[in-house]
Amino acid sequence: WDMFVLAFIERAFQQSYRKDDFVIGKKLGEGAFGVVYKVSSAKKGSPKGDLVLKKATEYGAVEIWMNERVRRACANSCADFVYGFLERSSKTKGGEYWLIWRFEGEDTLSDFMLSKEFPYNVEAKILGEGQGLEKGLERENRIIQTIIRQLLFALDGLHSTGIVHRDIKPQNIIFSEGSRTFKIIDLGAAADLRVGINYIPKEFLLDPRYTAPEQYIMSTQTPSAPSAPVATALSPVLWQMNLPDRFDIYSVGLIFLQMVFPSLRTDNGLIQFNRQLKRCNYDLDTWRSTVEPRAGPDLRKGFELLDLDGGIGWELITSMVRFKARQRTSAKAALAHPYFNSEGLLGLSFMQ
């Protein structure tokens, strides 16, 4: 009940908005289920600075629900959500959902990764200048390590709240200039298992380049869409049984691989890798043993990076990219992996 009372009070004092409160600017993105714009609002009491507006169709209601839940339970994991409402119109049947966030920054992880400068183009943003290291493996490893840690940290927040994102990919990870960290965006495909919201797998929403082989987060034998009270009682058990969070971990593993191997950063490179991995029955060690003997400098450099500190990076990456969900590590366990403190005390004090 506390949560409902709090939500009610919050709502009563919260600034509310309607369509005319926003001046629409540049288009930032367009997906199958909505369009995203940079906007501003002159309304009194609205957050300072630019905002982001997503006009969403039928799934907007779920996305608003997810964002409000995140704001209360794990605000730092995702972009700052400001407000969501249904804008009724005569043109579109049922109207459009409008979702408003703070504008976190210009760049997604995808933008950084598509630049030739990656990962150095992220270094000054998250580690500060003057690392005292020369360009090379050690320094790249330290930057990648920090990005992956921030991503796992955000994901652990979501998972601990009971939310599986299901569309983790570089395009859905934004760099927040304010907090100097990467945050997760786009909860349009997310599922909240504890309350049964968006419970039916919407596999058609998923991006095939980053999806885990199981595709569905819950086994198909799981009863579909239980009513909310039943789901609340049941879902911790279901969570344990099906480990749906491991779906997102697989995607993180793929992003990790893309950071380490530049040839996997293009769409074609990633698609080709996925084919190879499938042929190896999703076993990274097998994949390595097939490609390493005839690897070019690009692949060899990646393996060398993962082999630093006794192969601790390779150990972590293989614990994320596994066929069986239950054999994959969790976000929380991954954060405790020695890969993240191979820098010793120095690393820890610099990279909170």
Q: How far is 17 from 28, CA to CA, in rounded Å?
A: 21
Question: HSE-up of 193 (CA within 13 Å, CB side)?
Answer: 26
Interacting residues with ligand ADP between 314 and 343 (CB under 6 A): none
| Number of Cβ within a 10 Å radius of residue 227 | 8
Residue 185 touching ligand ADP (CB under 6 A): yes
CA 162 centroid distance within chain? 15
CB 61, min distance to ligand ADP, A: 15
Which amino acid is located at 127 in the chain? L
One residue of 34, 60, 170, 196 binding ligand ADP per CB under 6 A? 34
CB 137, min distance to Mg ion, A: 32
Cβ-contact 184, 71 below 8 angstroms:
no
Compute, in degrees rounded to 10, the torsion defined by CA atoms 327, 273, 335, 156.
-80
Closer of 60 and 313 to ligand ADP (Cβ)? 60
Strands (E), the chain: 22-31, 34-41, 51-56, 81-87, 96-102, 163-164, 173-176, 181-184, 191-192
Q: How far is 95 from 184, CA to CA, in rounded Å?
A: 27
Give the interface segment with Mg ion, choosing from 179-187, 214-222, 245-253, 254-262 (CB under 5 A).
Answer: 179-187
Residue 172 touching Mg ion (CB under 5 A): yes
CB 97, min distance to ligand ADP, A: 12
Residue 104 touching ligand ADP (CB under 6 A): yes
CB 48, min distance to ligand ADP, A: 14
CA dihedral sign, ordered 244, 279, 169, 307: positive
Cβ-contact 264, 273 below 8 angstroms:
yes
Partner whose footprint covers residue 222, from ligand ADP, Mg ion, none (CB < 5 to 8 Å by kind): none
- Catalytic annotation present for 248: no
Which amino acid is located at 140 in the chain? E
b (16+ CB within 10 A) / e for 230-243: ebeebbeebbeebb
Contacts of 349 (CB under 8 A, 6+ apart): none
Partner whose footprint covers residue 79, from Mg ion, ligand ADP, none (CB < 5 to 8 Å by kind): ligand ADP
Residue 255 touching ligand ADP (CB under 6 A): no
Site string for Mg ion, 181-210 (x = CB under 5 A): -----x------------------------
Partner whose footprint covers residue 34, from ligand ADP, Mg ion, none (CB < 5 to 8 Å by kind): ligand ADP
Tokens of 86: 């249904």
Closer of 56 and 257 to ligand ADP (Cβ)? 56
Which amino acid is located at 222 in the chain? T
One residue of 186, 192, 245, 248 binding ligand ADP per CB under 6 A? 186
Interacting residues with ligand ADP between 51 and 70 (CB under 6 A): 52, 54
| Number of Cβ within a 10 Å radius of residue 245 | 24
Q: How far is 253 from 151, CA to CA, in rounded Å?
A: 11
**Token pair 């400068």 is at which residue?**
117
One residue of 60, 119, 188, 253 binding ligand ADP per CB under 6 A? 188
Residue 174 touching ligand ADP (CB under 6 A): yes
Give the interface segment with ligand ADP, choosing from 6-14, 22-30, 244-252, 309-317 (CB under 6 A).
Answer: 22-30
Residue 108 touching ligand ADP (CB under 6 A): yes
Closer of 41 and 172 to Mg ion (Cβ)? 172
Closer of 79 and 143 to ligand ADP (Cβ)? 79
Q: Footprint of Mg ion on this chain (CB under 5 A)?
A: 172, 186
Active-site residue set: 167
Q: Footprint of ligand ADP on this chain (CB under 6 A)?
A: 28-31, 33-34, 36, 52, 54, 79, 101, 103-105, 108, 171-172, 174, 185-186, 188
